[in-house]
């Protein structure tokens, strides 16, 4: 409802009377307005005392507007609106000047001071005062109950009339309150660095507008779904209603029911108990689309009158704005996390790549090749192959439990430990046992473990010796089609300080082919993978029969793994190593 009559006019609605004045913002015209208002009230038959009080109220209000207009907008319109109905009179004084901050408490100055009594008079003479400083104007709202207001309508429907006036007052006041509170809150929230700061700011703004003593703001944690307090205003640490289960119950009920929960004392709210229960208040839930985000609770400890509709509107509007800011904060945070993750993946991929040999050792009559394809989440797979000083070729393949930079670092120390062990020990079992002992303390502390295979190919003797600590079986396909498998005979390293390692020894005849791989090839999460190590063995038997080179086996294996074009991206690293012994040149192939 808006009232917009011509300037300086009286409008008589059916159940109330209104008077409006618009003039320039000077001290002289302020008096003119106050005298005009007095005349209006006199014509309504108000008592002389009531008229004098309003004359003083409006003079003080107008003077304040003019005196605080340091920007020099004097002459710009000053508006005075009066509404009278039922037993109440309401005035709004609107100016477009600088405005001022209404003090937290208005007190009388020292008797010898010549100024500083205006606000005190306004506060004392009004039953309700509200000052809103805003971008488009400052509004001072004053309201008084009056005993002698004559019944304009022969005693009819006076309660109805009062109701209408109530609604109108609220609507008018709420509108201005919302606008200026929103303006101030948005201004201040620009500099807030965190959701907590912003939440406290919200509570402060709303407590000021609604006359609440204290408040609590809770948000649902997006991770755990629990209701967590992010800000509280003037809530004593203990022995207070806000720390009782009841206050939490009201918050939860608000979220569950998706409705504002009114806190009220008196017979309607016998459920309120606990230490220092509030006299009135509201728990307001807020939602992002349909998703619950949080609850805001405001309470008046000493005022039993419920929040007015205008005040509830401000609470809803500012909560909505706050919720939008929270969502945008969270979005930004997740964006940063994604970027960090990507950076970590890049780092981990770099480390992993640096662990692989630049080239495979070359041995006449043998071919060797490795492959390591990283999953999106980089892991700790690696393989290694190099000539041993006192003859033979060492190969190793390992899989570190875990992913990311941590797994890559563990892969790096594992590789170093293996290389060191190779220089000091004769057999793969001894090497692996030594490396496992070296790494145990670190892995134990990190609660990680590594599955490792170390193999030694002796081209002179045509033998391969394999030690396997918890890793996938290493397969050897003979030219005769027989598959030998070096099973994981020991536990992964990192689980025992002094692991028991045994080794397998297989002949590596001409035309045979060795395949070592990580469990990325048999990971059930990717449909193109093998179902089991046995399926890998079947595949190797079929594809290594004709004495192919290591490179040929690798290509065939990659073809097999990629033949499902719809397959999901890799969920684990796929790493394998192929060593093939050339077939006998005498055998026709």
For residues 211 and 222, the answer to whether their CB atoms sit within 8 Å is no
Minimum separation from the CB atom of position 313 to another protein (A): 34
Judged by beta carbon, residue 31 or residue 153, the one nearer another protein is 31
Minimum separation from the CB atom of position 82 to another protein (A): 18
Measured in whole angstroms, the distance separating CA 497 from the mean position of its chain's CA atoms is: 43
Strands 17-24 and 77-85 come out as: antiparallel
Minimum separation from the CB atom of position 52 to another protein (A): 4
Judged by beta carbon, residue 53 or residue 300, the one nearer another protein is 53
Distance (Å, whole) CA 91 – CA 129: 10
Judged by beta carbon, residue 32 or residue 248, the one nearer another protein is 32
Distance (Å, whole) CA 71 – CA 92: 22
Distance (Å, whole) CA 484 – CA 513: 10
Q: Of the candidates 561, 583, 586, 451, which has an alpha carbon nearest to the alpha carbon of residue 509?
A: 583
Token readout for 287 is 């939602």
The strand pairing partners of 463, in sequence order, are 458, 507
Judged by beta carbon, residue 53 or residue 308, the one nearer another protein is 53
Please state the three-class secondary structure of 245-282 as a single string.
HHHHHHHHHHHHHCCCEEEECCHHHCCCCCCCCCCEEE
Token readout for 195 is 């959701």
Judged by beta carbon, residue 113 or residue 302, the one nearer another protein is 113
For residues 577 and 454, the answer to whether their CB atoms sit within 8 Å is no
Distance (Å, whole) CA 238 – CA 541: 75
Minimum separation from the CB atom of position 63 to another protein (A): 5
Judged by beta carbon, residue 110 or residue 226, the one nearer another protein is 110
Minimum separation from the CB atom of position 27 to another protein (A): 4
Q: Of the candidates 404, 406, 431, which has an alpha carbon nearest to the alpha carbon of residue 417?
A: 431
Strands 483-486 and 128-132 come out as: unpaired
For residues 580 and 366, the answer to whether their CB atoms sit within 8 Å is yes
Minimum separation from the CB atom of position 98 to another protein (A): 17
Distance (Å, whole) CA 426 – CA 391: 11
Q: How far is CA 335 from CA 199, 330, 341, in A?
A: 22, 9, 10
Minimum separation from the CB atom of position 26 to another protein (A): 8
Minimum separation from the CB atom of position 78 to another protein (A): 14
Token readout for 27 is 């001290």
Minimum separation from the CB atom of position 45 to another protein (A): 18
Distance (Å, whole) CA 88 – CA 269: 29
Judged by beta carbon, residue 1 or residue 28, the one nearer another protein is 28
Which parts of this chain interact with another protein (CB under 8 A)? Answer: 27-28, 30-31, 48-49, 52-53, 55-56, 59-60, 63, 66-67, 108, 111-118, 120-121, 124-125
Give me the count of residues in the chain: 589
Distance (Å, whole) CA 198 – CA 180: 17
Judged by beta carbon, residue 98 or residue 373, the one nearer another protein is 98
Judged by beta carbon, residue 99 or residue 285, the one nearer another protein is 99
CA-based radius of gyration for the chain: 42
Judged by beta carbon, residue 109 or residue 266, the one nearer another protein is 109
For residues 432 and 395, the answer to whether their CB atoms sit within 8 Å is no
Minimum separation from the CB atom of position 61 to another protein (A): 10
Judged by beta carbon, residue 49 or residue 337, the one nearer another protein is 49
Minimum separation from the CB atom of position 62 to another protein (A): 9
């Amino acid at each position: 409802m808006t009232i917009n009559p011509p300037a300086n006019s009286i409008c008589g609605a059916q159940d109330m009377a209104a008077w409006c004045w618009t003039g320039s913002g000077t001290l002289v015209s302020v008096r003119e307005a106050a005298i005009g208002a007095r005349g209006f009230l006199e014509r309504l038959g108000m008592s002389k005392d009531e008229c004098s009080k309003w004359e003083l109220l409006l003079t003080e209000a107008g003077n304040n507007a003019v005196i605080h207009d340091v920007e020099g907008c004097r002459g710009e319109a000053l508006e005075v609106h009066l509404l009278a109905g039922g037993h109440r009179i309401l005035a709004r004084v609107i100016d477009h000047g600088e405005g001022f901050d209404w003090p937290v408490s208005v007190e009388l100055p020292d008797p010898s001071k010549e100024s500083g009594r205006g606000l005190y008079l306004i506060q004392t003479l009004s039953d309700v005062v509200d000052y809103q400083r805003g971008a488009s104007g400052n509004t001072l709202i004053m309201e008084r109950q009056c005993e002698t207001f004559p019944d304009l309508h022969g005693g009819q429907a006076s309660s109805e009339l009062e109701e209408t006036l109530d609604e109108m007052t609220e609507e008018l006041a709420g509108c201005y309150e919302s606008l200026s509170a929103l303006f101030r809150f948005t201004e201040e929230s620009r500099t807030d660095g965190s959701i907590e700061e912003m939440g406290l700011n919200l509570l402060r703004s709303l407590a000021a507008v609604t006359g609440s003593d204290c408040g609590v703001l809770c948000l649902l944690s997006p991770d755990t779904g629990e209701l967590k307090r992010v800000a509280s205003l003037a809530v004593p640490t203990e022995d207070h209603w806000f720390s009782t289960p009841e206050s939490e119950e009201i918050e939860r009920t608000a979220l569950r029911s998706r409705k504002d929960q009114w806190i009220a004392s008196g017979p309607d709210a016998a459920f309120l108990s606990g230490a220092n229960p509030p006299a009135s208040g509201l728990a307001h839930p807020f939602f992002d689309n349909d998703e619950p985000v949080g609850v805001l609770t405001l309470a008046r400890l000493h005022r039993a009158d419920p929040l007015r509709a205008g005040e509830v509107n401000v609470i809803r509007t500012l909560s909505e704005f706050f919720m939008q800011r929270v969502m945008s904060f969270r979005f930004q945070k997740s964006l940063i996390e994604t970027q960090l993750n990507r950076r970590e993946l890049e780092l981990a991929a770099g480390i992993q790549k640096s662990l692989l040999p630049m080239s495979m050792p070359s041995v006449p009559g043998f071919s060797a090749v490795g492959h390591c394809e990283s999953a999106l989440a980089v892991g700790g797979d690696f393989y290694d192959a190099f000539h041993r000083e006192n003859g033979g070729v060492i190969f190793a393949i390992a899989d570190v439990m875990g992913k990311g930079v941590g797994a890559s670092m563990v892969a790096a120390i594992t590789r170093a430990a293996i290389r060191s062990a190779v220089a000091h020990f004769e057999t793969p079992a001894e090497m692996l046992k030594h490396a496992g002992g070296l790494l145990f303390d670190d892995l134990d502390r990190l609660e990680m473990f590594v599955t490792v295979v170390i193999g030694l190919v002796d081209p002179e003797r045509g033998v391969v010796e394999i030690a396997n600590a918890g890793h996938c079986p290493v397969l050897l396909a003979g030219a005769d089609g027989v598959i030998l498998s070096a099973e994981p005979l020991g536990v992964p390293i990192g689980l025992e300080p002094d692991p028991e390692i045994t080794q397998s020894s297989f002949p590596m005849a001409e035309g045979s082919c060795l395949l070592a791989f990580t469990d990325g090839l048999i990971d059930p999460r990717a449909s193109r993978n093998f179902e089991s190590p046995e399926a890998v063995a079947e595949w190797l038997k079929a594809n290594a029969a004709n004495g192919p080179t290591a490179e040929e086996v690798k290509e065939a294996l990659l073809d097999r793994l990629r033949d499902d074009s719809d397959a999901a991206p890799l969920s684990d690293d796929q790493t394998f190593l192929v060593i093939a012994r050339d077939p006998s040149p005498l055998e026709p192939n």
